[in-house]
Structure 1
Amino acid sequence: MRWTKYWWLVMAVMLISTFAVFAVHDEAKGPEKFGRYEFKEQDKKAATDECDAGGKPGPEFVPTVRDKEPNLALLKDAKPEASSQLEGWCPRRHCVEYLNDGFYNNCRSWIIGAIPGWAQIDIGDVANVNRIYFGSDHSQGFLDRTTADFDILVATSKADPNSDANTWTKVYTHKGDPISETTEFTFKDVEARWLRLHIRTNGGARVDEIEIYGGKDPMDVEPSGKATTTWGEIKTE
């Protein structure tokens, strides 16, 4: 009898622990338009049907609007690019196009191939930018493949494959704790058409989504000076 009670107690603890670790952060779908900004279609059923989640949380909506600011990475014509990707998993889990497909979590993520390397978003036009969000796995179903050593770069005229090219401006450098949860990185206002994460961390860094923000009407820009490297602020959700 004692063993029966103990067994049920163990099972209850296991169930509670599992729920705490793998709880789904299921945000509501954001608006399809915000003023003059039109966003990519977010078809959660199609994303879920395509997803090989491995028993962990599946696709969850990325906001099209945060704090009354449009997510520039989710604009209809925004395009993702990367220097490489982990082979053999696209489209079930890890693809370049999942960098800004509008869904969080491992099965809608990108994993770098060769290190060092980069992932970037072409917004489609020059806009004001002052913060981004990204993480390894929003739901924290997977805790591996984090990055702790990277730069945030921006460009307005050319997205040179070489991250050291003078067309790039470094606006943020991170050398510290691994980035696992969806995390906010802020820096001074700067004009950008391309925004790049240049990654130096070994271990196959994963990015489940890049979000880009720059104000309530970020494409209403005026000429500004060149930015300098910032050891900015970070905030996890």
Structure 2
Amino acid sequence: MSPVPTSAAGFEVTVPAPPEPFDPVVEVLPAGSRLYRTFSTAPGRHVTTFNPGFGGPQRFSFFRNPPVPVLYAAQSEVAAVCESLLHDVPLTGGRLLPEDYERSVAGALETVHELRLAAFHSLGLRRLGVDAPQLTASPARTYRETVRWGAAAHAAGLDGAVWMSARCNTDRAYILFGDRVPSGDLRVVTDYGRVFAIGPDRDWLVDLCAFVNVDMLTRTP
């Protein structure tokens, strides 16, 4: 029998099914909004590239067959790093290995048109009868259940969803659906970028990791 999923605080997590009918608070992300994300330097990848379905389940993806492409982003560069490079590092501290960051970069994008998103935060959670530990701050073992909420937001005709980052809870995190938000509706921001493998950008990441009790290694032990 598989273990019961628990939160970071150690209590049992039960992820409910989305309510029917699904009637979320809709948050409008205005045109010209700037979002940040980290992504791989693999060929063909850039800041506005949607994931077509590679990898295992994520919090609100993947759903349908073939999968709906998705793009995850954040309100700030710190939140983008916390939701990606530091996502699986324990909150009590840990290590970030070279293979975890040397092939990753950060970039920014701007929305060309306004987007309509399911609000999975604040009173939006209460409206749907769920709270953050059950949905937006639950452990990875619950992703097969939380993905149903992404599917529900998509079925409601929305462009994506927004929630408060569990690892940087002053800032919003986002998922955008690729069949609703074409890459051409997202503009690359050319005045921002970080390459974590070298120079000042690596120093910036070292400082951020130190601040949250993470040892960022420059050599694999």
TM-score by length of 2: 0.28
Rg larger in structure: 1
More helix by share: 2
TM-score by length of 1: 0.27
More strand by share: 1
| Greater relative contact order structure (CA < 8 Å, 6+ sep) | 2
